[in-house]
Amino acid sequence: MPASVKEMIEAANAAVPRITPAEAREMIARGDTLVVDVRDAPEVEKTGKVAGAVHVSRGMLEFRADPETPYHDKAFDKDKTVIVYCASGGRSALSGKALKELGYGKVYNLGAFKDWAESGGEVEKPIDTGM
């Protein structure tokens, strides 16, 4: 059993392949890919998210991904390729490992949202409510 968050992330990184923004774009272009932003809502509201991504905060991921829970999100399908990302790659690594444990076979860690944005990846900006 891992004894620290660092060890948990190392184990997750060993189980879930890390991909580049270019590799993620290729996977998305092929279709049948679910992109999941596991950051907290204030982070997404501040920066936007990968275009077409589903936002599910890290704390709700297993509940949204498991079809046996009342919180299941139909966007989650174990036959799809799943790409997860967060602010730095730690939460997405842990998320990817959790998805694999739930039976998702094709799971990849994009890592940091800023790497996607800085590489020219398409971003959906937050809605300006004027407040």
Domain ranges of the chain: 5-119
Tokens matching residue 82:
């799943």
**With 80 as the cut, is the pLDDT of residue 130 above it?**
no
How far, in Å, are 43, 81, 83, 120, 129 from residue 96 at the CA level?
19, 11, 8, 24, 32
32: number of Cβ within 10 Å? 11
Residue closest to 111 by CA, chosen among 125, 96, 99: 96
Interval 67-75 mean pLDDT:
97
Calpha distance 21→30 (Å, rounded): 14
Considering the entire predicted model, what is its pTM? 0.93
36: number of Cβ within 10 Å? 28
pLDDT-above-90 percentage for the chain: 92
User: What pLDDT does 126 receive?
Assistant: 79
pLDDT digits (tens, 9 = 90+) for 7-49: 999 999 999 999 999 999 999 999 999 999 999 999 999 999 9
Residues with Cβ within 8 Å of 68's Cβ and at least 6 positions away in sequence, in order, are none
Residue closest to 108 by CA, chosen among 22, 3, 8, 7: 22
CATH, domain 5-119, list 3.90.320.10, 3.40.250.10, 3.40.1160.10, 3.30.450.40? 3.40.250.10
Active-site residue flag, 117 = no
Options 9, 86, 98, 110, the catalytic residue: 86
- Furthest-apart CA atoms within the chain: distance in Å: 48
Whether 126 contacts 45, CB under 8 Å: yes
Task: Name the pLDDT band for 62 (thresholds 50, 70, 90).
Answer: very high
**In the block, residue with structure tokens 């799809």:** 80
User: What pLDDT does 3 receive?
Assistant: 84
User: What pLDDT does 104 receive?
Assistant: 98
